[in-house]
Structures are given as C-alpha cells and as structure tokens.
Amino acid sequence: MIPELGHFALALACAFAFAQAIVGLWGAHRRDMRLMAATPGLAVGQLLALAGASLALVLASAWDDFSVVNVAENSAVAKPLLYKITGTWGNHEGSILLWGLILGICGGLVSVFGRTLPSALRARVLGVLGGTSAGFLLFCLTTSNPFWRSWPAPADGRGMNPLLQDPGLAFHPPVLYMGYVGFAVPFAFAVAALLEGRIDAAWGRWVRPWALVSWCFLTCGIAMGSWWAYYELGWGGYWFWDPVENASLMPWLTGTALVHSAIVVEKRESLKIWTVLLAIGTFSLSLSGTFLVRSGILNSVHAFANDPARGIFILGLLGLVIGGSLLLFALRAPLLRSGGVFAPVSREGGLVLNNIFLCSICAVVIVGTMYPPFADLLLGQKISVGAPFFNATVLPLAIPVFLAMAVGPLLPWKRGRLMPLVTHAWWAALAAVAVGGVCAGNMAVLPALAFGAATWLILGSFSEVIERTLLFRAPVANSVRRARGLPVAVLGAAIAHAGMGVTIAGIAGMSLSSNKIVEAKPGDQFKLGGYEFTLLSLSSEPGPNFASRVASIEVTQGGTPVAIMRPSKRNFASQNQTTSDVAIRTNFLRDLYVVLGDERDGQAVLRLHVNPLAPWIWLGALVMAAGGALSLADRRLRVGAPSRLRAGAVPA
C-alpha cells in the first residue's frame, strides 16, 4: 500500500507542477491577482506531495518491500539501515525523485520567503520552476518510476553497489543536488526577467543569495565527492578529470562567475545580459550533467550508464529548457540595457575579466569532456582525453584568475588606477615571491610556483580588510571600530578567496607525495617519506553484509610510534564484488595512506603513500563555502530588496 501511496503522491506532485507553471505564467501575463496569489499555494502543494512520495520510497526500502523493483535491485535484507535509507537516492530512479524533491523545496522556499517580491515576478519565477519540475516529474513517472512493482516479489534483493555503501556517498548526492538544482532559482529569475523585460538593482539583490547558497552547496558537494574518491576508491589522488567529475565542475565555474556578476547588477546595474546568460548557462550545465550521467554516453566510475532511452527523454527536456530559454534570451536580451558605464580598470572591469577567464576554463573542460564521445559517434575514432590535456590548458587560464582574486576587491567601482594596488598589496606579493623562491630551492618549479600563488591568495585576499580597517596604520581601537563596521560580505569574500589559496597549497603539497608498492608478509618493514611501515598481521573479520580481509600495520618515525593502520578488502558475496577500504591517518599537515591489495603465497600487496598537505585540498573547499555562507549573513541581502515593491505598480 505504501508504494501505491507514493506513486499517487508523485502523480499529484506532477499535476501540481503543471498547474503551478500554467497558473503562474498565465496569471502574470494577464495581471490576474487571483491567479498570481494562487501560485505559491500550488508550489507548497507540490512540495508536500513530493515529500510524501520520497517518504514512501524510504519506508519501502527500510521495510524490505522487495515487490518494488527499485528496492529489489538496490537493497537487501542484510544491508545496514543507514544505507537502506540513503540508498534510495543512490540509483537512477531514486536520484531523479531526489532531484524533483529539491526542486520542490526551492519552489516552496520562493513561495514562503519571496513574499516581498512583486506579485508578477514571483508568479513568473514560480511558473518557470513549476514547468521545469513538471518535465522532471513526468520523466520520473513515465520512464524512471521508483514505485514500479514486480510479482512475485523475491525473498531478498540484489543489494547496493558496494562502492556506494559508504557514509560519504550517503550524504554526497543530496548536498551536490542542492547545488545543481538550487541554480534553478537564478535560472527562473533570469527567464522571468526576460519575460518582464526588466532588470534592476533589486533583481540583483534577490538573485545573489540564491546563487550564493547554490554555489556553497555545490562547492561542498564537489569536495565531498573528491574526498570519497580519495579514500574509498584507493586511487591515492583527489581529482582525475573523470567525465562526471567534470560535469560537476562546469556549473561550478559558471556559477562562480554568476555570483560575482550579480554583485555588479546589484551595485551598478551593469552586466545585466552577462548575468542573465550566466544564470541560464549554469542551470543548463547542471541539466547537461544529469543527461551525461544517465544517458550512458560517458564511461565513468560515477555514471549510472542506464537505458539510453531515458537519456533521449532527458535530451528532449534539455532541448526544451535550454533551447527555449536561449531563444527567449535572443529575443528579449536587447531590452536589458545596462545603466552603469565603467572604465576597463575598475571593479566592474575586473569582474568582467573574471567572468571571461572562468567561462574560458569551462569551455575547455566542455571540449575535453565531450570531444571523445562525439569523435566516436561522428568519426568512429576512439580518443581518450585525460589529465595532461586539462592540466596544460586549464592552468594558463587559471593563473590570471588567481592573480586578480586577491587584488580585485581593492579596485574602486566605475573607475580606478593600477598603482594604488601595488601600494596596498605589496607585502602579499613580497611574501609570495619569498615563499616561491625558498620552495624553488627545494623542489620542482611548478610546485614552488603553486606555493607562491597560494601565499599570494591567502594573504592578498585580506588586503581589502586590512586597507579598510587601517590595520597597522591607525590605533588598534580605531581599527577594531572600523572592523566592526565592515559589511559581513567583505569578510566573507576574503575568506572564500583565501580558501582557494588553501586548496592550491594542498594541491601543491600532493604533487610532492611519495608512494611505493610492496609485497609484504607479517614482520616485513618498509621505509617511505621518513616513516617506517611494518606489517604486523593479516586477518579475516566479518561485516554486516560483507567479509573483510584486514592488514594491521604499525607506522613509526625515528622509532617513535605514530599510528596503527588497518586497511582492508571487503568481499560482498551477493554482488560478487570486492572493494578496498583505505586506511588514512592524518595530522592535517600530511596523510599516511595505505591500500591493501591482493594476497598470494602468504604475502600481501601494499600500496603506501605519504601525502603532504593533502587535507588542505578539502579544507580549502570548506573554507570557501564558509566564506560564502558568511556573506549570506550580510544585512544588505535582507534590507532593501522590497524597495521595488514599495515603488508601487505590479510589473507586467
């Protein structure tokens, strides 16, 4: 009965979504206050129906209802309860339902917190969100229904993909999807602005928080996925330019540009066309990532590689959403004239340069990711594009972005000069040169340059804070008073930019890692990176739905015990699959990383790594997200947005 209720709730949500789209857009077009007032209620109704459908799927999985095909194919009696619950979105059907639920949450939040929006604008935004949601829910109902039944029901299920039975993958998809789907709100605002033919500072004030929240979630989601690949797959690295990794990076790049571009709309009413196009492009790339993962055209450890017919449905939805919005942009963009004029050397000019380079990096990643499947399809050629291509093409484009990140906030709006930047940030540049020079004497040129760049970013990011508080140039009490009066967004931006510097330092440290593959029997000792690794024992241990083979390894440094590490291999009999459980011991300055391989003749293959500064890669991402979250606390994002409503008329 629970699956039937879930199926009904899903169908009801689809009906609510269609009604939300029609009532919202038609009501705004006709300026019908009753229809516009009804749209938020429809959005909330859709959210409640989707919540009911999601709860039904979770209950079916938790209660082992194997008559539901989705549960039978992705769960089992012996599966731990946590993964029975979180595993509902670890498959194609469940992930589409999760996408719809988060899109419903976005619509519900706009309904509840968008009461100060002009009625017509809110109705249009909700109408666009409803139309997008309707497409996904129709896809869910017709080709990817998570509530399909199978009779007779099997006694047990096939179980979850063992690689996904991990806490990181339990929470990674919802966080990542909050980023992906969250960009639907700026997209809806962009389409609504095109329909309305109007963008002003208040529009930028409403869009920026949504873009910033989505960017924070996407940053955390990408970091969690990278961390999972690092410790679960046993590859020993943090990023492999995997096609699905790239699919998440592309909207992050354009989303970063969108966050900065929305600032210019809010402050100067400039870059309106840039901002609208970035909003459309970012959500389009999020949808494209969904298509790539589910169409089967990408060969990736992350890809679902499902029925290509589903990919065709998503491709049609992509064509409708992306093609329709771009056509609307082509027809209506000339109406969005910018109000502010600025010189090339100015805050606006710096942000335009930032957008150009970020979008250029995104274009390179798109070409490198999509060229192999298109070459195979059109030319019949098997081509592999890997890390050497991306490293060689992305790095030259990223360097100007890193240089500008630290000093860009020091530029004044409208018109500025370059010389004051030298006087304000000379100390950060001097420190960067000093660090790079010292490192160059002890390591290769590229890591030394990376450490110098990291120093420049971490120190230079706070140049604006130091300049505005007159730190070291005024009495301490005066500087403290000025610091208290700083907008929170200024400090948030400094922290976010410094977080990128922390990540770059971590990447530079990883380039200095040392590793060794050895065959060992109990009692054997090996030296690596100043540490001694001794294999103590090999043993078998049972798990909830797997059997483990565990190695116990003692790590010492100069005779002083450092850690006992226990890497293992897990054998999942129901799926006939073996996975590695990596042992990691960190002190936040380095990671000791050990992988247990195959055993033969009483010996085990061990892969040993010493990874300097590896934790900084993910720490930097968290710092970036924290800076973005701090910016959301800025009072200016909560005050002033309703001014457009108070101006009087409901816009057409």
What DSSP assignment string belongs to 539-564? EEEE-SS-EEEEEEEEEEETTEEEEE
- CA atoms within a 13 Å half-sphere pointing along the CA-CB vector of 554: 13
Same domain, 471 and 333: no
Answer whether residue 344 shows pLDDT above 90.
Answer: no
Answer whether residue 642 shows pLDDT above 50.
Answer: no
Query: pLDDT category, 524, cuts 50, 70, 90?
Result: very high
* Distances 189 to 105, 120, 277, 278, 646 between C-alpha atoms, Å: 16, 12, 11, 12, 19
Same domain, 574 and 433: no
Same domain, 178 and 286: yes
Same domain, 249 and 328: yes
The per-residue pLDDT for 10 is 97
Same domain, 595 and 479: no
Identify whether 643 is part of a domain.
no
Answer whether residue 218 shows pLDDT above 90.
Answer: yes
Number of domains in the chain: 3
Same domain, 459 and 531: no
Identify whether 645 is part of a domain.
no
Identify whether 406 is part of a domain.
no
Identify whether 44 is part of a domain.
yes
Question: Tokens representing 367?
Answer: 């070409």
Same domain, 381 and 424: no
Q: What is the pLDDT of residues 392-431, one digit of tens each?
A: 999 999 999 998 888 888 888 878 777 777 777 888 999 9
- Beta bridge partners of residue 571, listed in sequence order: 547, 578
The per-residue pLDDT for 153 is 87
Query: pLDDT category, 249, cuts 50, 70, 90?
Result: very high
Cis status of the peptide bond prior to 152, with omega within 30 of 0: yes
Same domain, 287 and 382: yes
DSSP state of 119: H
Angle subtended by helix axes 387-407 and 445-460, to nearest 10: 30
Q: How many CB atoms lie within 10 A of CB 95?
A: 21
The per-residue pLDDT for 98 is 94
Q: How many CB atoms lie within 10 A of CB 173?
A: 21
Same domain, 175 and 242: yes
- Among residues 350, 367, 388, which one ends one of the domains? 388
The per-residue pLDDT for 27 is 96
In single-letter form, the type of residue at position 165 comes to Q
Query: pLDDT category, 553, cuts 50, 70, 90?
Result: very high
Q: Provide the mean pLDDT of the chain.
A: 88
**What is the distance between the alpha carbons of residues 89 and 59, in angstroms, rounded to a whole number?**
13
**Order of strands, sheet of 583-586, starting from the edge strand that comes earlier in the sequence:** 514-520, 603-612, 590-600, 583-586
The per-residue pLDDT for 652 is 38
Identify whether 449 is part of a domain.
yes
Least confident piece of the model among 432-441, 460-469, 636-645: 636-645
Same domain, 451 and 590: no
Identify whether 638 is part of a domain.
no
Q: What is the pLDDT of residues 308-334, one digit of tens each?
A: 667 678 788 888 999 999 999 999 888
Name the nearest CA neighbour of 17 among 207, 184, 195: 184
pTM of the shown model? 0.92
Question: Tokens representing 208?
Answer: 């920026």
**What is the distance between the alpha carbons of residues 214 and 219, in angstroms, rounded to a whole number?**
9
The per-residue pLDDT for 650 is 42
Identify whether 171 is part of a domain.
yes
Answer whether residue 131 shows pLDDT above 60.
Answer: yes
Answer whether residue 453 shows pLDDT above 80.
Answer: yes
Angle subtended by helix axes 167-182 and 184-196, to nearest 10: 10
Q: What is the pLDDT of residues 585-635, one digit of tens each?
A: 999 999 999 999 998 888 999 999 999 999 999 999 999 999 999 998 876
Question: Tokens representing 38?
Answer: 């009804």
**What is the distance between the alpha carbons of residues 344 and 291, in angstroms, rounded to a whole number?**
39
Residue 552, domain extent: 514-612
Identify whether 218 is part of a domain.
yes
Answer whether residue 255 shows pLDDT above 50.
Answer: yes
Same domain, 560 and 481: no
Q: What is the pLDDT of residues 33-90, one digit of tens each?
A: 999 999 999 999 999 999 999 999 999 999 999 999 999 988 888 888 888 998 898 8
Same domain, 502 and 528: no
Query: pLDDT category, 638, cuts 50, 70, 90?
Result: low
Question: Tokens representing 219?
Answer: 């940053």
Query: pLDDT category, 215, cuts 50, 70, 90?
Result: very high
Question: Tokens representing 232?
Answer: 């679960």
